[in-house]
């Protein structure tokens, strides 16, 4: 048996270490709390009260009344809610269907809603800057549906935050070019451009 086939067999036969019940309950209640929080944040932004930004973050009423900030909050709350819902679906799949919820999975569930919130914020900034097209033909939407549109866009960016990350990476490549191999250091890249016998110690 080759080494490759042996490694493949060990990978397939790897025993799944189930997470303890208390960890599953901690993740469950954390996601439930996150669900309530982002729904509240959405309703708070929609109502125009902005209790969280004013009372928790200490922002002034004049600042939060700016329309751009309101749209920003719609995108952020939509991103967080999308991330929580995606995490709930994944949690259900691993705990109730596949029965393979392992302890190290918990880190992803704790970070995912907040990463999704950031994705919603970044998506909003890219749309506002014109780097991403939001409305058809690149024209900004107007009217009462604007806030719903930004919330929906943030929700999609949060629900599929891994896909959104890939989209942002493609945008970076389009603007700045493809990065060099991250496994190679700057010194290695400099050495690879040298030619002649001196690079090999005088050997031909």
pLDDT class for 199, splitting at 50, 70, 90?
Answer: very low
Q: pLDDT, tens digit, for every residue of 166-197?
A: 888 888 888 888 766 655 554 455 444 444 44
Q: Round to whole Å and give the CA distance between 76 and 56.
A: 16
Backbone angles phi, psi at 165, to 5 degrees: -60, -40
Q: pLDDT, tens digit, for every residue of 37-81?
A: 999 998 888 887 888 888 777 777 777 777 788 888 899 999 999
Percent of the chain whose pLDDT exceeds 90: 33
**pLDDT the model gives residue 182:** 57
pTM of the model: 0.70
Q: What is the signed CA dihedral for 8, 10, 12, 16, rounded to 10 degrees?
A: -150
Q: Round to whole Å and give the CA distance between 164 and 170.
A: 10
pLDDT class for 203, splitting at 50, 70, 90?
Answer: very low
Q: Please report the DSSP string for the chain in residue order.
A: --HHHHHHHHHHTPPP-PPPHHHHHHHHHHHHHHHHHHHHHHHHHHHT--HIIIIIS---HHHHTSHHHHHHHHHHHHHHHHHHHHHHHHHHIIIIIS----TTHHHHHHHHHHHHHHHHHHHHHHHHHTSS--SGGGPPP-STTHHHHHHHHHHHHHHTHHHHHHHHHHHHHHHH-PPPPTTS-HHHHHHHT--SGGGGTT--
Higher pLDDT, 85 or 193: 85
pLDDT value at 109 more than 80: yes
Mean pLDDT value across residues 83-89 = 95
Mean pLDDT value across residues 73-94 = 94
Higher pLDDT, 99 or 15: 99
**pLDDT the model gives residue 70:** 84
Percent of the chain whose pLDDT exceeds 70: 72
pLDDT class for 111, splitting at 50, 70, 90?
Answer: very high
Provide CB contacts within 8 A for 134, sequence distance 6+.
Answer: 127, 140, 141, 149, 153
């Amino acid at each position: 048996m080759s080494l490759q086939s042996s490694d493949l067999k060990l990978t397939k036969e790897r025993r799944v270490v189930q997470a303890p019940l208390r960890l599953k309950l901690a993740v469950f209640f954390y996601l439930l709390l996150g669900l309530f929080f982002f729904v509240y944040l959405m309703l708070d932004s929609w109502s125009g009260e902005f209790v969280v930004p004013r009372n928790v973050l200490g922002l002034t009423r004049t600042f939060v009344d700016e329309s751009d900030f309101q749209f920003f909050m719609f995108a952020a709350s939509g991103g967080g809610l999308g991330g929580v819902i995606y995490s709930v679906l994944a949690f259900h799949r691993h705990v109730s269907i596949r029965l393979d919820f392992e302890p190290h999975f918990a880190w992803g569930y704790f970070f995912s809603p907040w990463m999704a919130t950031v994705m919603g914020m970044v998506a909003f900034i890219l749309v506002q800057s014109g780097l991403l097209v939001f409305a058809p033909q690149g024209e900004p939407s107007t009217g009462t549906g604007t806030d719903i549109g930004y919330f929906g866009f943030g929700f999609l960016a949060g629900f599929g935050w891994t896909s959104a990350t890939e989209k942002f990476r493609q945008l970076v490549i389009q603007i700045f070019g493809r990065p060099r191999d991250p496994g190679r250091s700057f010194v290695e890249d400099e050495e690879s451009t040298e030619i002649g016998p001196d690079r090999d110690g005088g050997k031909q």
